[in-house]
Amino acid sequence: MSSTYTLSPIASISTPFKQKFAIPRQPGLAKAQGKITFEDGYDGKSMLKGIEDYSHLWLLFLFHENIEKGWKNTVKAPRFGGNKTVGVLATRSTHRPNSIGMSVVSNKGIHSDGGSLYLEVEGVDLVDGTPIIDIKPYLAYADSLTSATDKLDNYQPIPNRCVSFDSGIANVVQRVEQQNKGFKDLVINVLAQDPRPAYKQHIDDDPKTYKVALYDKDIGFVVRNGHVVVTEINPR
């Protein structure tokens, strides 16, 4: 048996996330939209026949931006406060032996753009341009296991901070919302999870301005009195 196999992406996905920083730690934590465009040879409508029967889909993809960085046997996971070391196979770390990830997303159906088919999904946690290597139906009877357990509740919970926008950028927020429907809600959902490094998430007054890239905008935010405040929105 060969010890080496070759995987060819069948598609790529367009998302609002232009950088890895601030991407939700798991799918479904923000209602971010994704557009899956298929590669030549995988763009036949017959490949998608029947996919409308499923409300959710599994996306298998490559952590393509991490491949050259390699991987380690152990990692420091954010849910453990960024300090506890655990085995890479006991986490969903993006730095993995074969750089393969999986996410469950909502299926928003097949659409056409200029004669080309694409699949629209929601709840994505993938950086823009991520290669998709496979798509599978989510099967509620098999994939939703009520007896499943984990111990993550014993560790640091996913932050849920209040998010507000500085009054000085109200007009900018309104204008960008007109260009990208759902922009404001996406910003709130992403920043509520406090994308700062895990070792800083306990700091409730942090004057440093952090930048998140969504769509074609750079969103600057600070943390004041435990609240995330969006202070600037600029073109990238």
- Distance from C-alpha of 92 to C-alpha of 90, rounded to nearest angstrom: 7
Taking alpha carbons only, the member of 203, 233, 209 closest to residue 221 is 209
- Distance from C-alpha of 93 to C-alpha of 116, rounded to nearest angstrom: 34
Q: Are 236 and 216 in contact (CB under 8 A)?
A: yes
pLDDT in tens, 47-61: 999 999 999 999 999
Q: What is the pTM of this model?
A: 0.89
Stated as kind and residue range, the H or E segment containing 136 is: strand 130-137
Burial of residue 206 (number of CB atoms within 10 Å: 0-12, 13-18, 19+): middle
**Side chain identity, residue 140:** A
Supply the pLDDT for residue 81.
63
80 has a pLDDT exceeding 70: no
- Distance from C-alpha of 39 to C-alpha of 92, rounded to nearest angstrom: 27
- Distance from C-alpha of 236 to C-alpha of 231, rounded to nearest angstrom: 15
- Structural domains in the chain, CATH included, are 11-143 (2.40.30.70), 159-235 (3.30.2310.20)
